[in-house]
């Protein structure tokens, strides 16, 4: 029995066939429209959307070859590329069925048909139409979102050497289908990297699907990523596409990949290796074709050493690694980012704020930014909202850490290089010259600390 969800269009030059179809389907589908002249098809498709089109292969001009049916199939797909067409004919053979599928038909029904088989065929066709419309809607929304974005690296701002290296890697990798792993602290812009890779890839006209792995419980992992079949569990009243299937042909971004359990890691590894998924409750696997981008703020290599993350999975997801530096390691970009966010939020909130004062900029430059670019963005948004003049002053910026705020005020009259040198000297003395401990306390890598020590001749 077909759920009453579909609109059916049936075209056949035999009125008796049309009557039989109407009699059979009227209680099973939402509406059924029947026409005997295929020339009415274009006008019908312009005024109404049909979920399934039952199309006779042979009309009066052509008794048995089916060429008229193929011609009309081509015309239908030109009008509606997502149309689901099922051929019906009394002259069927295997060769003709294969040709029909290759031409774009969904299925092939022989006259006289068996009622149960025809209903089952239409049921499958209705589900396919629904999936096509969902995928089409997602593609449309994705395109609209991408059109809103300004350029390839929307809100991806930076002139520092560290960020230029990131941009260079993105340009090299984007056009390939290599799996990419983006590493960096929270707020550094890992999803921006993923979207930049997507927008500059050969899959940019397909979907971009983002999944926060940290928000998916282990019990929902399979159903969310792989989908489920009708009847797989109590509430599974219809088939559901998982994220992998929805993203097929496009790009799948798995954020916070380091949060996966060992069991989930094993399932993900199998999916990547076989390039197929099996819906929960289904028997047959479904092939998938996705460009995979993963991200984490965890030290994933340390997790491998500790045994909490599978090394073979890491090999699969990090064909190329992109490391995003924290904002404290590219302080030269703070002014550039601040000006960018100032323009964004003055426009959004219709505020006549033209600049950031030097004192305010000093305050921004001396703050540690534990929340990275995201925290800077929020700070600028709040400042724009609260500001009552045409210039952002230091009092327009408030940082939740009061101790940090007091330190900022005390350092505002210092030259930035002098401040950085004095802090490094102080921390090195406190740690008796231990580079590893000093770097950790300063929130730097050993390499970054050595670079600064060389800069200040320490």
**Tell me: the pLDDT tens digits for 203-213?**
988 889 999 99
Q: What is the pTM of this model?
A: 0.59
**Tell me: the pLDDT tens digits for 303-334?**
999 999 999 999 999 999 999 999 999 988 99
Report the pLDDT averaged over residues 120-137: 81
Would you say the CATH fold of 162-325 matches that of 7-134? yes
63 has a pLDDT exceeding 70: no
162-325: CATH architecture: 3-Layer(aba) Sandwich (3.40)
18 has a pLDDT exceeding 80: yes
pLDDT over 70, % of the chain: 88
How far apart are alpha carbons 72 and 79 in whole angstroms?
Answer: 11
Domain boundaries, the chain: 7-134, 162-325, 326-413, 415-458
326-413: CATH architecture: Orthogonal Bundle (1.10)
DSSP helix/strand/coil, 50:
coil
How far apart are alpha carbons 100 and 115 in whole angstroms?
Answer: 22
> Which band of pLDDT confidence, cut at 50, 70 and 90, is reported for residue 94?
low
Report the pLDDT averaged over residues 15-44: 88
Distance from the Cα of residue 438 to its chain's centroid: 39
Report the pLDDT averaged over residues 263-270: 94
Alpha helix positions (H), 175-285: 190-199, 221-226, 243-246, 262-274
How far apart are alpha carbons 84 and 77 in whole angstroms?
Answer: 9
State residue 318's pLDDT score.
94
Which run of H or of E encompasses 397?
Answer: none
> Which band of pLDDT confidence, cut at 50, 70 and 90, is reported for residue 93?
low
State residue 226's pLDDT score.
93
405 has a pLDDT exceeding 90: no
**Higher pLDDT, residue 428 or 91:** 428
**Tell me: the pLDDT tens digits for 360-399?**
999 999 899 999 999 999 999 999 999 999 999 999 998 8
Task: Let me know: does 98 contact 120? Beta carbons within 8 Å.
Answer: no
355 has a pLDDT exceeding 90: yes
Q: Residue 72, Cβ neighbours under 10 Å: how many? A: 21
State residue 393's pLDDT score.
94
Distance from the Cα of residue 303 to its chain's centroid: 26
Report the pLDDT averaged over residues 62-89: 81
CATH of 7-134, one of 3.40.91.10, 1.10.3720.10, 3.40.50.300, 3.40.50.2300: 3.40.50.2300
How far apart are alpha carbons 104 and 251 in whole angstroms?
Answer: 25
- Computed over every residue of the chain, the mean pLDDT equals 85
How far apart are alpha carbons 158 and 330 in whole angstroms?
Answer: 9
Phi then psi for residue 240, to 5 deg, are: -130, 130
State residue 69's pLDDT score.
81
CATH of 415-458, one of 3.40.50.920, 2.40.30.10, 1.10.10.60, 3.30.390.10: 1.10.10.60
> Which band of pLDDT confidence, cut at 50, 70 and 90, is reported for residue 408?
very low
Q: Which residue has the tokens 């066939």?
A: 17
337 has a pLDDT exceeding 90: yes
> Which band of pLDDT confidence, cut at 50, 70 and 90, is reported for residue 413?
very low
**Tell me: the pLDDT tens digits for 213-264?**
988 888 889 999 999 888 888 777 888 889 999 999 999 999 999 999 999 9
């Amino acid at each position: 029995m077909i759920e009453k969800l579909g609109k059916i269009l049936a075209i056949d030059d035999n009125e008796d066939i049309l009557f039989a179809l109407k009699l059979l389907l009227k209680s099973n589908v939402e509406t059924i429209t029947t026409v005997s002249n295929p020339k009415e098809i274009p006008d019908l498709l312009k005024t109404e959307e049909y979920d399934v089109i039952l199309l006779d292969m042979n009309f009066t001009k052509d008794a048995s070859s089916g060429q008229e049916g193929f011609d009309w199939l081509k015309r239908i797909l030109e009008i509606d590329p997502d149309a689901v067409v099922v051929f019906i004919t009394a002259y069927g053979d295997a060769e003709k069925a294969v040709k029909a599928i290759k031409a774009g038909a969904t299925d092939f029904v022989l006259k006289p048909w068996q009622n149960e088989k025809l209903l089952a065929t239409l049921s499958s066709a209705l589900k396919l139409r629904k999936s096509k419309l969902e995928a089409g809607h997602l593609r449309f929304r994705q395109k609209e979102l991408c059109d809103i974005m300004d350029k390839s690296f929307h809100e991806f701002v930076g002139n520092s050497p560290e960020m230029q290296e990131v941009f260079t890697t993105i340009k090299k990798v984007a056009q390939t289908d290599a799996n990419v792993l983006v590493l960096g602290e929270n707020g550094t812009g890992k999803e921006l990297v993923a979207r930049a890779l997507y927008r500059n890839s050969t899959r940019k006209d397909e979907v971009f699907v983002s999944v926060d792995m940290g928000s998916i419980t282990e019990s929902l992992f399979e159903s969310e990523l792989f989908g489920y079949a009708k009847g797989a569990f109590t509430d599974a009243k219809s088939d559901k596409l998982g994220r992998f299937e929805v993203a097929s042909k496009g790009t799948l971004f798995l954020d916070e990949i380091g949060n996966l359990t060992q069991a989930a890691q094993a399932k993900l590894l199998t999916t990547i290796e076989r390039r197929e998924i099996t819906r929960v409750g289904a028997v047959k696997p479904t092939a998938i074709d996705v460009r995979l981008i993963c991200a984490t703020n965890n030290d994933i290599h340390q997790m491998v050493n500790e045994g909490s993350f599978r090394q073979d999975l890491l090999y699969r997801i990090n064909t190329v690694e992109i490391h995003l530096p924290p904002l404290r390691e590219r302080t030269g970009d703070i002014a550039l980012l601040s000006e960018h966010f100032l323009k964004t939020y003055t426009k959004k909130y219709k505020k006549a704020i033209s600049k950031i004062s030097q004192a305010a900029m000093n305050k921004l430059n001396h703050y540690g930014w534990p929340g990275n670019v995201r925290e800077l963005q929020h700070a600028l948004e709040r400042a724009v909202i609260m500001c009552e003049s045409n210039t952002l002053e230091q009092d327009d910026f408030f940082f939740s850490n009061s101790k940090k705020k007091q330190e900022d005020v005390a350092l505002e009259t210092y030259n930035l290089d002098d401040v950085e040198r004095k802090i490094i000297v102080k921390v090195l003395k406190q740690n008796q010259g231990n580079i590893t401990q000093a770097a950790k306390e300063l929130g730097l890598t050993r390499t970054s600390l050595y670079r600064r020590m060389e800069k200040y001749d320490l």
